[in-house]
């Protein structure tokens, strides 16, 4: 970017100072564009940057940016993209891409490659992912979609949060603790009437904001997914801490009441919930989201949100009709698998923005949609498959589950009968906040034999490296960053030595964080199980953050009426048996 002359600097300054006023006043877009055109190109780019970095927080900036961004100037596009990388605001690149023709987007992508920055393809459900994706979780179908308009709606809702009145409300069962909610979501009805019978709303501004959002989201769902949302209702939650967070399943009283009134002649339909997660001041290096438990494998899926982002998960669940053929009755069957929202938590094992983690907002728009519309949507949505464990072999020793990713897990009916004799555990340099201990196994042959018997495999002539990993802190600790030498052709067996209090479940391992899917998978691995994978697969895993909420037994958490009681502070202790193939010379 060249040097900006004094005159141009002055003009830029005037423009930046006055654009908010211009945007709010009756000054026409044409006049604004005229004054903008007085600026030289560098100043124009600077102006655009100023507007782009306010895109998430200022409605006027959003509309001006959209107006002023040249749609056919690759040079400007690249300058803006580079600035987004420099300021770690990569998500804003998708705003630019959403506003320019595809050819220019491709040109910009090509140019980004040459700058050395890495472009991350947006995952389903976030801005920049233009298709509709779907996956199935128990009875529910989940759809991921997003466009710029929906993104802007969410950003406006976050902006409106500071204009709304809020109050403390007792969370609905099972959320026994209190939380802060917008008053307009609690008091939907007028609190009184004027003498001429005009309703008086407690928080008319907030009520208008949330109603406007709800209607526009329903229209967007119609527009993008061809689903007509009937009997629309809404809920907004400010997720400021984990206090009101519990595992639960949803109940939709308003939609059930609607179905009840419609009676049995109502055509086949689905209960729809558009769950939009919105960043609200989330600190760099954090994640928040919804953790869902799949009922057959018990693995958990964390549908996450990163700073700056907006994500949509639209879930469709079949309503439950009574067996006698009568209309459904409130409260109806609970929908969705067990799930819990989480406030922002650390993403990285070794790094953090500190104690201040920020907040997020959940906005749910609920309704009823007809089955024929869902069928049409299902046909055109791109399916995403889960890495779901399936039983591959059962014998008297246990059950072997196979994951599509190549890993397998063997569950034994009793505690695993192998003992490990080690001289001592030497401390290796810790990494990702994980203590890495290396042990010298005293009788390798015995141990290999024992493992071979348990897994019905033969490890004759193999050698074994033994490690113990101890994780006590938050954040996802990627195994490939631990500095442990695990050859690709080795065979790795993992045993969980952690001791969790009663009412907690064992999820020591997760997928390594990547942005390709809308979720991170949490793998269940109890003390009576072994996880088996090769040296390549293990590099795709991480150790689960020690957030207590991630480990709660979902049923217990949902049924417990009390605030969780004190429990022992727990940690992850994982044994790694790295079994190396026989060396050439020893064959």
Partner 1 sequence: MKITSFIYPYFLIGSLLFGQEDMNIHYLKMENEGCKENIAILCNLKSFINDCYAEKAKLLTAVNDWIQDKDLSTTELKPIFEELIEGMKTLSSIPHPNALIVGRKNDLQEISQKFTSSTSKENLHTVFSDLTNQENLGYTVAVIAKDPSSLSILLEKIRENHTQGERVIEYVHALKHLNIEMIGALYQVLQESEKDSILESMLLLFPESKSIRSFITSQLPSEDASLHAALAKKFIESKKDTQLHILLGLLSPSQIAEIQENLKEEGIDYTSALPGRIGSQSTYCANLSKGQIFFYMDANKFHAIRNLVEGVEKDMILSIDGTPKSKVQIVPESIKHPNPISYDHNNTPIYSDTTGKGLLAEYADESLGLIFRLLGYTLRDPQVHLDLVLNQDPLIHPKQTKIGQMFHEYAMVDWQMPDGTISGLIVEDGSLGDRFIMTLFPRDASCLSIVGQNDLRLSYFSPIDYQSTITSGSTKGKNMMIQLCGGISDDHVKALETDTIPLEVNKSVVMVDERLYSNGLSLKKKPQDFRLSSELMRWKDVKENVDIFTFDQKKHVNYAARIADHIGLTNVQLNAMYRLVKRTTGLSQLSKIDLNIPENSTILMINRSIHPKGYDYFNLAEDQTDLGRPWIQLYRCHPDMWIKMDKECFDRLALTPIEEFLFRTTLGENKQENDLKLKIVTEMDVLIFTPLTL
At its nearest, how many Å lie between partner 1 and the CB of residue 350? 6
Lookup: tokens for 83:
């600035």
Please identify, using beta-carbon distances, which residue of 37 and 569 lies nearer to partner 1.
569
Q: Which two tokens stand for residue 270?
A: 């689905």
Interaction residues for partner 1, span 266-305 (CB under 8 A): 280-281, 283-285
Beta strands in 202-334 (DSSP E): 230-239, 248-250, 269-280, 286-293, 300-305, 310-317
Pairwise CA distance, residues 193 & 201, whole Å: 9
DSSP-assigned letter for residue 408 = E
Nearer to partner 1, 318 or 430 (CB): 430
Site for partner 1 in 337-356 (CB under 8 A): 342-343, 348, 350-356
Q: Cα separation of 388 and 315, whole Å?
A: 19
Report the site for partner 1 in 385-424 (rule: CB under 8 A): 424
Interface pattern 126-145 for partner 1 (x via CB under 8 A): --------------------
- Where in 233-262 is the site for partner 1 (CB under 8 A)? 238, 240-243, 245, 253-254, 257, 261
- Closest distance to partner 1 from the beta carbon of 184 (Å): 11
User: In the complex, what is the shortest distance from the CB of residue 283 to partner 1, in angstroms, rounded to a whole number?
Assistant: 7
Among 433, 465, 511, 575, binds partner 1 (CB under 8 A): 433
How many degrees, rounded to 5, is the angle at CA 146 between CA 144 and CA 148? 175
Distance CA 32, CA 44 (A): 12
Residue span 183-202 as binding mask against partner 1, x where in contact by CB under 8 A, dash where not: x--xx-xx--x---x-x---
| Ranges within 88-107 binding partner 1 (CB under 8 A) | 88
How many positions of this chain bind partner 1 (CB under 8 A)?
79
CB-CB neighbours of 97 under 10 Å: 23
User: Which residues within the stretch 451-480 sit at the binding site for partner 1 (CB under 8 A)?
Assistant: 468, 470, 472-473, 475
User: Interhelix angle for 74-86 vs 41-52, to 10°?
Assistant: 50
For partner 1, give the closer residue by CB, 297 or 544.
Answer: 544
3-class secondary-structure state, position 245: coil
Q: Answer yes or no whether residue 168 interacts with partner 1 by CB under 8 A.
A: yes
CA distances from 236 to 62, 368, 566 (A): 23, 19, 30
Task: State the DSSP code for 234.
Answer: E
Shortest spacing between CB 425 and partner 1, in angstroms? 4
Q: Which of 357, 325, 311 is nearest to 547 (CA)?
A: 357
Stretch of residues binding partner 1 (CB under 8 A), selected from 66-74, 141-149, 525-533, 559-567? 559-567
Cβ–Cβ < 8 Å for 272, 230: no
CA distance 279 to 360: 5
- Among 109, 180, 230, 386, interactor with partner 1 by CB under 8 A: 180
CB 290 within 8 A of CB 277: yes
Q: For residues 27-86, which are near partner 1 according to CB under 8 A?
A: none
Per-residue binder mask for partner 1 (CB under 8 A), 300-339, x = binder: ------------------------------xx--------
């Amino acid at each position: 970017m060249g040097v900006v002359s004094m005159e141009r600097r002055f003009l830029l300054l005037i423009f930046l100072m006055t654009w908010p006023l211009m945007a709010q006043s009756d000054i026409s877009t044409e006049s604004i564009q005229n004054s903008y055109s007085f600026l030289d190109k560098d100043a124009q780019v600077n102006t655009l940057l100023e507007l782009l970095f306010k895109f998430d927080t200022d409605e006027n900036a959003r509309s001006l940016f959209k107006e002023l961004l040249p749609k056919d100037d690759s040079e400007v596009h690249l300058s803006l993209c580079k600035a987004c990388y420099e300021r770690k605001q990569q998500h804003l690149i998708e705003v630019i891409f959403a506003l320019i023709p595809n050819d220019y987007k491709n040109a910009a992508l090509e140019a980004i490659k040459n700058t050395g920055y890495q472009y991350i393809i947006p995952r389903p459900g976030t801005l920049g992912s233009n298709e509709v994706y779907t996956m199935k979780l128990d009875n529910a179908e989940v759809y991921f979609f997003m466009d710029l308009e929906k993104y802007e709606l969410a950003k406006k809702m976050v902006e409106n949060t500071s204009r709304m009145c809020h109050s403390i409300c007792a969370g609905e069962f099972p959320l026994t603790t209190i939380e802060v909610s917008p008053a307009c979501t609690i008091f939907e009805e007028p609190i009184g009437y004027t003498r001429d019978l005009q309703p008086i709303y407690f928080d008319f501004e907030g009520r208008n904001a949330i109603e406007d959002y709800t209607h526009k989201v329903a229209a967007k769902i119609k527009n993008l997914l061809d689903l007509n949302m009937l009997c629309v209702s809404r809920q907004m939650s400010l997720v400021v801490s984990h206090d009101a967070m519990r595992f639960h399943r949803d109940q939709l009283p308003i939609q059930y009441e609607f179905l009840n009134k419609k009676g049995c002649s109502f055509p086949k339909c689905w209960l729809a919930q558009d769950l939009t997660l919105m960043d609200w001041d989330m600190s760099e290096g954090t994640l928040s989201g919804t953790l869902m438990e799949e009922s057959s494998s018990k693995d958990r899926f964390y549908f996450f949100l990163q700073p700056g982002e907006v994500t949509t998960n639209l879930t469709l669940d079949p309503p439950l009709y009574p067996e006698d053929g009568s209309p459904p009755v409130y409260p109806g069957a609970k929908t969705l698998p067990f799930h819990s929202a989480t406030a922002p938590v650390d993403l990285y094992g070794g790094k953090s923005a500190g104690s201040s983690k920020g907040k997020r907002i959940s906005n749910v728009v609920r309704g009823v949609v007809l089955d024929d519309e869902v069928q049409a949507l299902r046909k055109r949505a791109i399916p995403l498959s889960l890495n779901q464990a399936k039983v591959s072999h059962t014998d008297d020793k246990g059950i072997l589950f196979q994951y599509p990713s190549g890993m397998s897990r063997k569950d034994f009916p009793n505690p695993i009968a192998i003992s490990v004799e080690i001289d001592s555990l030497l401390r290796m340099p810790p990494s990702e906040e994980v203590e890495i201990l290396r042990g010298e196994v005293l009788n390798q042959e015995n141990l290999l034999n024992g493992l071979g018997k348990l897994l019905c495999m033969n490890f004759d002539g193999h050698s074994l490296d033994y490690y113990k990993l101890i994780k006590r802190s938050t954040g996802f600790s990627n195994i490939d960053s631990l500095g442990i030498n695990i050859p690709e052709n080795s065979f790795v067996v993992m045993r969980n030595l952690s001791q969790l209090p009663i009412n907690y479940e064992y999820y020591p391992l997760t997928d390594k964080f990547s942005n390709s899917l809308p979720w991170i998978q949490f793998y269940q691995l109890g003390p009576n199980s072994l996880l088996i994978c090769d040296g390549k697969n293990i590099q795709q895993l991480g150790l689960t953050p020690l957030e207590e909420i991630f480990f709660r037994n979902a049923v217990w958490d949902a049924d417990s009426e009390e605030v969780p009681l004190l429990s022992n502070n727990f940690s992850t202790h994982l044994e790694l048996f790295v079994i190396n193939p026989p060396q050439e010379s020893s064959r």
